[in-house]
Structure 1
Amino acid sequence: MSEDETPIFAAARQANEVLHGGAPALPRPSHPRIITIANQKGGVGKTTSTVNLAAALALGGLGVLVIDMDPQGNASTALGVDHREGTPSSYELLMWEHAVEDLMQSSPHAERLFCIPATIDLAGSEIELVGLEHREHRLAEVINSDDLVSLGIDYVLIDCPPSLGLLTVNAMVAASEVLIPIQCEYYALEGVGQLLRNVELIQQHLNTSLEISTIMLTMYDGRTKLAEQVAGEVRTHFGDTVLRTVIPRSVKVSEAPGYGMTILQYDAGSRGALAYLDAAKELNSRADRLAAIAGSGSAASGAEENR
């Protein structure tokens, strides 16, 4: 929403753009961004944020692939793709039975939005993974940046289960970025410390290029002092990693998955839809900054080696 627009006008304009096309095109990142959305605490808006960010990025003309790694399959439901038992899914991807391009399904919600669904087969996969070679690298081995470019994919968003098991570890080893949704409620930071320690261990032993690139504040209720206090605490702790855009608490956002939709299809003019569109723009605008940081890190590392 621009500064000279009223909220009602912005909502009407946005709804028209989503329903009839014409949304502003987003600049493409220089290389595919692979982002894991993780928080072992349930009910923080993790899957909701995954599918709504994906839809918003796709409506901006970017190629987006959601990999559903949660056996519950809620992301698959919200994106309107088939995930009945027997459907080729992320389970086959982990077991190296099919390639990414063979498992992608087109979402009806946007032209360049795709999903590799989760089925009930994924429920027992963590037990199977324990006995396999390269068990933490199964997903990383089948997600290749060159292949993503050839498929026209700019973003891969990986939705994790609410746990820190092997499925989440695989998602983090395959990604270069972690996005953590944190709800603006009591005990918001409870469990985040454990998640940060796990990310640090993965950085040290399994994926040195992984970084926590984004913190997203969800379920923000501007009528309460608590939400403001939690948001302030999170921003103090994490600094510029936190998106400026906050996701408001919204009944519409909660209802949308029950209809097999994202909030952008269910109610394109709602506050929740506006927020996710703004969050997607902000997330995309960080691509160049992250690339510059990575480049300076590589340069510093090379200088250190040459001493």
Structure 2
Amino acid sequence: MIRIAVANQKGGVGKTTTAINVATAIAATGRRVLIVDLDPQGNSSTGVGVDQNTRQRTSYDVLIGACSAADAVVPTAIPRLSLIASTVDLSGAEVELVEMEGRIHRLDTALQAPAMQAYDYIIIDCPPSLGILTMNAMVAAQSLLVPLQCEFFALEGLSQLLNTVERVRAGYNQRLNIVGVVLTMYDKRNRLSEQVAADVRAVLGKIVFETIIPRNVRLSEAPSHGLPALVYDHRCAGSEAYIDLSRELLGRTEPHARAA
């Protein structure tokens, strides 16, 4: 089982869009995939069509120990893709977990249960912060996927994220690595996007994925229909980019894998 946290403390960079579309693309290759929605906004849950009224057991319940991870899993309409949903209740976990034993290991412990070994990939969608929820994700994950928006302040705050990764690696999870940085919201008509992409590659080198995710209206429309873009319009530029990104990701996490 490969666990990947999708994280960046900056909001609006495409974390959820990346999480649900990468998960969908990997599931399309025949692998069993689970999304863990660890954001109180619950956008990943909405984005794969799981209605608020059906979210009876959630990631909040898993973290506080009210149910097992397996009991919180719900199917989605996408073959081989399942979900542990989120609701606004999760915002309270930031406070409640402070008093709990092993507060940053709770997700890791829950995902180690034998029933969870049925999944080939677990994709954890993190909130836009470096708080206790994101720390839980980093402790539970083997790899970190970082979406980075092609804008002027793209690298601002990245050093803080990298420092947090180093602290987690040193103190809690030695196996944690950054599997890659993906450039998102690239506008080929805007010279700034091109310059930012070049600057990011100059600073970070090969850690940056070759695939760039463009600004694409179909990517923005898809969540309102409760669908990943790959299902909503698999031929749009955004969907094609996420398919390419998923191939790269499989190549980095499974060196001998062949993406279907």
* AA matched with 1:190: E
1:58 matched residue in structure 2:
27
In the alignment, which residue of structure 2 is the partner of 1:247? 213
- Stretches of structure 1 that go unaligned for 5 or more consecutive residues are 1-31, 292-307
Which sections of structure 2, spanning at least 5 residues, go unmatched? Answer: none
Tell me the amino acid that sits aligned with residue 193 of structure 1: S
Aligned to 1:67: 36
1:225 aligns with 2:191: yes
Deviation string, structure 1 residues 212-232 (Cα, Å, up to 9, x no partner): 111111001112221111111
Query: Are the counterparts in 1 of residues 55 and 85 from structure 2 also a CA contact under 8 Å?
Result: no
Q: Is the CA contact (8 Å cut-off) linking 1:84 and 1:119 kept in structure 2? A: no
Structure 2 vs 1, CA of residues 86 and 77 (structure 1 numbering), >3 Å: closer, same or farther? closer
Structure 1 residues 186 and 91: alpha-carbon distance in aligned structure 2, compared to 1, 3 A threshold:
same
- Look up the match of 1:134: 102
Pairing 1:125–2:93 present: yes
Take 2:187 and 2:61, find their aligned partners in 1: how far apart are those partners? 40
8 Å Cα contact 2:55/2:86 also seen in 1: no
Is 1:111 the equivalent of 2:79? yes
Counterpart CA distance in 2 for 1:209 and 1:93 is 23
2:70 corresponds to: 101
Aligned counterparts, 1:239-278, within 5 A? 239-278=205-244
Distance in 1 (alpha carbons) for counterparts of 2:70 and 2:114: 12
Query: For residues 55 and 17 of structure 2, what CA distance do their matches in structure 1 show?
Result: 25
- Other-structure match for 1:173: 139
Q: Give the distance between the partners of 1:143 and 1:113, measured in 2 at CA.
A: 16
The DSSP-based 3-state class of the residue aligned with 1:246 is strand
* Residue 196 of structure 1: aligned partner: 162
Equivalent residue for 2:251?
A: 285
The equivalent position to 2:18 in structure 1, one of 29, 42, 49, is 49
Detail structure 1 runs of 4+ shifted over 6 Å in the superposition. none
Say which SS state the counterpart of residue 178 (structure 1) adopts.
strand
Paired residues of 1:85 and 1:119 also in contact (CA < 8 A): no
Structure 2 CA distance for aligned equivalents of residues 92 and 86 of structure 1: 11
Per-residue deviation at 1:146?
Answer: 4.9
> For 1:164 and 1:290, how far apart are their aligned partners in 2?
33
TM-score w.r.t. length of structure 1:
0.80
Match of 1:234 among 200, 207, 211: 200
What CA distance in whole angstroms lies between the structure 1 residues aligned with 2:4 and 2:43?
A: 18
Q: Deviations over 1:188-207 (max 9, x none)?
A: 11111111111111111111
Deviates more, 1:234-243 or 1:178-187: 234-243
One-letter amino acid of the structure 2 residue matched with residue 243 of structure 1: F
- Aligned partner of 2:173 among 207, 227, 247: 207
Q: Which amino acid aligns with 1:228?
A: E
Q: Take 1:82 and 1:223, find their aligned partners in 2: how far apart are those partners?
A: 37
Change over 3 Å in CA distance of 1:61–1:35 after alignment to 2: same
2:50 corresponds to which of 81, 104, 114: 81
AA at the equivalent of 1:261: L
SS in 2 for 1:70: coil
Q: Distance in 2 between matches of 1:84 and 1:191?
A: 36
Normalising by structure 2, we get a TM-score of 0.95
Deviations 1:133-158 (A, max 9, x none): 10111111111175433x2x111000
Equivalent position SS for 1:135: coil
- In the alignment, which residue of structure 2 is the partner of 1:33? 2
State the alpha-carbon separation in 2 of the partners of residues 216 and 167 from structure 1: 22
CA-based RMSD of the aligned residues comes to: 1.7
More strand by share: 2
Paired residues, number: 257
Q: Could you tell me how far apart the structure 2 residues matched to 1:183 and 1:145 are? A: 35
- Is residue 2:90 matched to residue 1:157? no
